[in-house]
Each structure stands twice: as structure tokens, then as C-alpha cells.
Amino acid sequence: MRAVVQRVSQASVSVEGSITGQIGQGLMVLLGVEVGDTEKDAQYLGDKIAKLRIFADDEGKMNRSVKDIDGGVLLISQFTLLGDARGQNRPGFTQAEAPERANALYIACCERVEGHGIPVARGVFRAHMEVSLVNDGPVTLLLDSKKQF
């Protein structure tokens, strides 16, 4: 399971012109579910997202989590994170999990973050979404439940 985590001052997602999820200060997360991922991968990333200390403390050091700042998480499923364009210009998505299984693990990850007492706004699974965000810093991290990065 892969995630792109961005520290934001605000973020939203819209489907067909209607906002389906939005947050103020917090984390905007794009999540890709890979073939073979399990509930354990969803738990690992959910915990990591909740506990990442990438918000400034009183001394300006990245030492606070999204919960510490009373922020929210906008979590959006994005299978294209599993795209492989190494040998060609058109990416292949054979490593992306089948939609039904991917959605179940996406939901499990959202629920794991919520279990830490953090509000989670969501995108709409398999919909064409428009995402808007203000990246704060900018701070962007890549996470992988198999620790490949």
C-alpha cells in the first residue's frame, strides 16, 4: 500500500461539481492499494498517517502530529500510485488491487485513522474527482507499507 501525504492548510475533493470532502489544516493523503495488500498494510499506514510528526511545535520543529494540532485528514483512493511507467510511456496498472478489495482496504485505512480520534474526509471511490489543496511548506512524504521508500 502506498501513500502520498501532504501537509496542507486546506484541502477539498469534488465530484461532478459538488464538494464531497474537505478539511482545514491537516493532511491530504492519496492512497494506492497494491495486489497482495492486507488489513495489516491498512493498519500500518493508518497508524503512520495518524502519528506522523510533521507539524511545527512552539520552537518551529516538525514535532506534532495531525491529532496534536486538532487537524483533519482528507484521504482519497488513487490506484494510479501503483502505475509502472519504467519501460514505456503509457503506465501499466497490473499491481493495483481489484476495485472491491481495494475499496475494502481503503475503508479500513480510513477507519484506522479515525480510531485515533482524527476526523477523516473522503473522496468517492472510483469516481472522477477534482482535488484542491494548499500544500503547507511544502511538505510531501511518500509512504509504503512494505517500506520500499
| Alpha-carbon span 18 to 68, nearest angstrom | 30
| Alpha-carbon span 111 to 64, nearest angstrom | 21
Residue 94 a catalytic site member: no
Catalytic residue among 38, 80, 93, 140: 80
| Alpha-carbon span 11 to 115, nearest angstrom | 21
Catalytic residue among 79, 93, 125, 140: 79
Residue 55 a catalytic site member: no
| Alpha-carbon span 56 to 142, nearest angstrom | 19
Residue 80 a catalytic site member: yes
Beta carbons of 86 and 95 less than 8 angstroms apart: no
Catalytic residue among 6, 55, 78, 95: 78
Q: Looking at the annotation, which residues are catalytic?
A: 78-80
